[in-house]
Amino acid sequence: MRRLLRHFFLEDERGALSPMFLALLLGLVLLTGLSLDMVRQEAARADLQNAMDRGVLAAADLEQTIDPETTVTDYVGTRLLSDEPVQLAVTSDQALNYRQVSASATYEQDTIFLNMWGDSSLPVVGSSAAMERRDDVEISLILDISGSMARERSSGTELSRLEVLKDAAKEFVSLVLVTGTTDTTSVSLVPYSGQVNAGVMYTYLRSSNKGAQYGKCIAFDDTDFTVSGFPEYRSRPQAQQFQNFRFEADYGHDAEWGWCPYNDQAVRPFLNRVGTLNAAIERFSGHDGTGSQIGMKWGLALLDPATQPWTKLMVDNGKVPEVFADRPALYNSENVLKVIVLMTDGNTRYQPQVKSEYYDSECERDILANLDGNTANFKKKISSNVNFEDCGGSSSVNVSTLQTSSARTTDENLRREQLRGLCDIARENDIVVFTIGFDISEGSNAYYDMQHCASSESQFYFVEGLQLSTAFTQIAATISKLKLVE
């Protein structure tokens, strides 16, 4: 027996393990166990972090009625990988228009392999912070009400584009003006066709009140499109009122006469009442032309700080809520967000003009602004004559000679350049610009102009049909969404 034992355990070296190999093997087992325990620790940390992120976002919601500590604790309790008790610390800071919540948490996770080496647990640590801040928000909502909006059926629907727009725009207003935001968020509504009706601001811009009954639109100079603000007080004439393209109402569409929208479709600056804004949107009817550069001019100027003195006058006259007397705020003001939402269904068009000799008296302006009956052909833009005999002028003037001659393509290129230039000015002043190309053709002038004007690629919405509502909803969510700050 002694010989056998000596042979097998002392003399026979077959299958023997060297001391170095034994040490390496033990090290390999240790590293494998460490790796597995570390993987478990990282999975538990990610699980904890995910629960805390959701918890602080919910706790920071200004509409949240449950206290932050309870809210975060409840979310931490939804972890999937552990039910170990957590040491949780939650702090919060809150004022009228913001709430910030921070939280840190830790707990010990039992080890499997490291326990054999004396480490019975590993710490799992997480921290997170979130803030919802309802900063002062100034929104210019610029909406196309051109004739095609009244005429065309929206893609995939039996509704006109104008009908789809009304529903989508009203939904947008209802989303951005909710309880708690009405004192901090203003919406300036800017409907545009070939022109924009100045409404209550007509008094501040027009150089003469002659012909105001034909539409309170302002004729801007080309230089006005190189700056963000309005021109000087009472320095611009009233824009002409006429019908250039066919009159859509003659074909059964929801449209009204004229290049200048009627007074009930005028600019509505700095409002915060959903009912007031939605009633104005519901009154939209199609008008002649597509002056996107003029709509953009108005939207941008209503965000320009130089407009503030006129805002105070409108407050004094009861046209703007008193809470907005200091708007527009200075560019780059802390906690102020300026936003433009520009929507169109077509290319920016040229700006025709009636020759001055046929628009230099109230009599002539009255005739051109009220053509109907026997002169309905003028609305359809085909050959017809206009009688100015009662104005002491020619008894019969052919429509083709009424307007100034200009190269339409050249003029449209100029208007597109003006639009793009205003969009560039907006970006330079940190104004966030969202654009919507609604039922337009990919590759059209409108497509490229809206793409250029948007602050980023993701802020250009190329949509059709009922997708318009989705676009407005997403823009509203982007304006007011919660953000993780850590």
Indicate left, alpha or beta for 258 from its phi (over 0: left) and psi (-120 to 50: alpha): left
Residues 138/430, Cβ–Cβ less than 8 Å: no
The predicted structure's pLDDT at residue 23: 59
The predicted structure's pLDDT at residue 382: 37
Q: What is the chain's length? A: 486
Count helices and strands in the chain by DSSP H and E runs: 14, 12
Per-residue pLDDT of the chain (486 residues; tens, 9 = 90+): 777 656 555 555 555 556 665 556 566 666 666 678 778 888 889 899 999 999 999 999 887 889 999 999 999 999 988 888 899 999 999 876 678 999 999 998 888 776 766 667 889 999 999 988 767 999 999 999 999 999 999 999 999 999 999 999 999 999 999 988 899 999 999 999 999 999 999 999 999 766 666 779 999 999 999 999 999 999 999 998 888 888 888 889 999 988 999 999 999 999 999 999 999 999 999 999 999 999 999 999 999 999 999 999 999 999 999 999 999 999 988 788 899 999 999 999 999 888 888 888 888 888 777 665 334 444 444 345 777 888 887 777 776 677 776 688 899 999 999 999 999 999 999 999 999 999 999 999 999 999 999 999 999 999 999 999 999 999 998 887 655 565
Three-state SS for 55?
A: helix
Residues 369/460, Cβ–Cβ less than 8 Å: no
The predicted structure's pLDDT at residue 433: 97
Residues 484/130, Cβ–Cβ less than 8 Å: yes
The predicted structure's pLDDT at residue 13: 58
The predicted structure's pLDDT at residue 10: 57
Alpha-carbon distance of 281 to 275, in angstroms, equals: 10
Taking alpha carbons only, the member of 38, 51, 117 closest to residue 84 is 51
Question: What secondary structure does DSSP assign to 295-319, as a single string?
Answer: HHHHHHHTTSGGGHHHHHHHHHTTS
pTM here is 0.76
Indicate left, alpha or beta for 34 from its phi (over 0: left) and psi (-120 to 50: alpha): alpha
Angle of helix 161-176 versus helix 274-282 axis, rounded to 10: 170
Alpha-carbon distance of 149 to 144, in angstroms, equals: 7
The predicted structure's pLDDT at residue 376: 41
Q: What is the CA radius of gyration of the chain?
A: 34
